[in-house]
Structures are given as structure tokens and as C-alpha cells.
Amino acid sequence: MRAEEKAAGDPKKQKKLVKQRAPEGSVGWDIKTFERLQTAPSEGLVSRFDISHGMLLLVLSRESDGCRAMRQLIADCHETPHKKRALRTRAWQLFRALIDRQIVEFLPRSGEREQADSTATPFRALVVCPKSVTHGWLVESARFTPSVNATAFNPALANPDTQLSSLKPQLLVANYSQLRINSEWFRAQKWDAVILDEGQFIKNPGSQVASVARALLSRHRLVLTGTPIRIASAIGAFPPIPNVQLKHMIPMSLNDCIQQSHFAPG
């Protein structure tokens, strides 16, 4: 403005006057821009909702139920149903990462948790595997599911029931010989999940170990094997539950069993 004022009375200076340019990348606004904004069709709003560790921590830190608030937040966003499913999966993955890194932990609710703990039985799973892979089950369980108390079956104890006395989710690992020798004790227990690793050990439906496997009481049953066996042998070892139609044989992780049981935390 000062340069224009100085050159106001001198035509030569007015010709040489160079106006200051706007910074590179800036958008100039004039009357034409204003008119275009008034007459042009409006642009559609596009939702770009996303979930991060920081956002999840802020929601979980609420005094109310943070998990329920996170589910409601995803349900109320303007994303497509497909994107909402992906967001729920993403939120669960982040939540599991926070739990595994011990950044977030489950705290008992006052009154409710104490009453539930006094009446509910903790989640209990039985893994039957060859003796050579027992250690692998214990090590990998401690690594990937630290919230589960994984122990090896000890038949030398005077009272084997003490191995299932933990208030935490319990994973008991036994080998096929222990299952056959201590069949009465295993059949007397109620399991939330029974997993047979190296399932070819029960390929003969008439064997003693297969008979014991059929007699185990369990809500979830899973046979793992890398050796081809007849489907009839696997189903024979784990017969279908009455009034339930077997449509698919779907692998289920231990975490899935815990989450689908009524003993799931939270």
C-alpha cells in the first residue's frame, strides 16, 4: 500500500510498480471465487473414521463401560457396513495388543465381579498331544495367551483336582498315554474346550484312547492333525452333540473359545 501511495502522483512510477505476489501454493480469493461458491453444487461429505491406539485408550479411560462405548461409536459412524466390520476387527486387534503389552488390564467391578467369581467356574480347556510337543504347548500358550494359566498334567499328585483350582482361565496339557491311564479322572471333569493335537492318534475308533476321547464332556471340541485321516474317525472320536447339526468343521483358537464362553472377561 505504501508503494502505491508514493507512486500515486507519478505516472512513470505507476508503470514500474510491481505488486507483491502471493506465496506459492496459496489460493487467491476474489468476487469470482465468492460467486462460484454460491452457485456451484455442494460437494458430498465423505466419512473418514478411523481407530488408533490413542483413540482407543481415550475411550477405554472413560468412567463408563469403555468397550461398549467403542462399539457404539463404531455403530454410529457414517461408514459403510463393510467398513464398520473392518473397524470392529481393527479395534479388537488394537485392544488385544494393549492387553498383551500390559498397557490395559481387566479390573473387577465392585460387587458384581466378586459375586460372579464366587459362583462361576473359570474357563477350563484340555489339550491332549504327544509327549514330545507338551513343552511346545506350554511355551506357546504363555507367549500368545498369557492370561491363561497353562500347566502340564501331573498324575503323581495325590489329588489331581488341585491342578484345576486356579481362578484364572485354565489350560491343562496332557499326553495320550496319560489320557488313557487316567481315563476315569478325565471323564469326570467338565471342559469348556477339548483339543486333540496330532489327531491321527485316534484314527482307530475302536482303540482305548479313542473311547476315552469320546467320553470327555466338553462344550467345544477340536481335532488338529497334519496327517490325512478319515473324517469318520474324527467325528467318531468327537460325536455331534444331540440336536445340533454339524455343518462345517471350523478351526477355533483358544482365544475364540474363551470369548465365546460365558466365562469371557468383561
Model pLDDT for residues 90-112, shown as the tens digit of each residue: 998 988 888 887 777 766 665 55
pLDDT (tens digit per residue) in 21-49 = 777 777 777 888 888 888 888 888 888 89
Residue 219: band (very low, low, confident or very high) from pLDDT cuts 50, 70, 90: confident
Considering only 2-11, 65-74, 80-89, which range has the smallest mean pLDDT?
Answer: 2-11
Burial track 47-56 (b if 16+ CB lie within 10 A, e otherwise): eeeebeeeeb
Q: Is the pLDDT of residue 56 over 80?
A: yes
Residue 242: band (very low, low, confident or very high) from pLDDT cuts 50, 70, 90: very low
User: Average pLDDT in the 147-168 region?
Assistant: 77
Domain boundaries, the chain: 53-100, 116-260
Share of the chain above pLDDT 90, in %: 13
Residue 122 is given by DSSP the state P
The cell for 14 is 505507476
**Residue type, position 6, single letter:** K
Q: Is the pLDDT of residue 2 over 50?
A: yes
Which has the higher per-residue pLDDT, 118 or 41? 41
Instruction: Determine the Cα–Cα distance for residues 262 and 118; give it in Å rounded to an integer.
Output: 15
Please state which CATH number belongs to domain 116-260: 3.40.50.10810
What is the pLDDT at residue 246? 30
Radius of gyration of the chain (CA): 32
The cell for 240 is 455331534
Instruction: Determine the Cα–Cα distance for residues 68 and 100; give it in Å rounded to an integer.
Output: 20
Q: Is the pLDDT of residue 263 over 50?
A: no
What is the pLDDT at residue 105? 74
What phi-psi label fits residue 102: left (phi over 0), alpha (psi between -120 and 50 degrees) or beta?
A: left
Which has the higher per-residue pLDDT, 225 or 182? 182
Q: Is the pLDDT of residue 236 over 60?
A: no
Which has the higher per-residue pLDDT, 79 or 119? 79
- pTM (two decimals): 0.45
Residue 230: band (very low, low, confident or very high) from pLDDT cuts 50, 70, 90: low
